[in-house]
Amino acid sequence: MTKSVEYFFSIGSPWSYIGFDAFAELAAKNDVVITPYLTTVVEENGGIFSRNRPEIRRAYWTRDLKRWARLRGKELRLEHRPDLSDPTPASLFVIAAYLDGQDWIGIARALQHAFWSEAKDIGKPDVREAIVTSAGFDGAALLRRQADDDVQNKWSADRVHARDSGVFGFPTYVFDGEIYWGQDNLPFLERHLHGDKP
Catalytic machinery residues: 13
* One-character DSSP codes across 145-195: HTTSHHHHHHHHHHHHHHHHTT--SSSEEEETTEEEESGGGHHHHHHHHTT
Question: How open is the CA angle 145-151-157, to the nearest 5 degrees?
Answer: 170
Helix residue ranges, H only, the chain: 14-29, 55-72, 91-99, 104-116, 125-134, 139-145, 149-164, 186-193
- Is there a cis peptide before residue 87, judged by omega within 30 degrees of 0? no
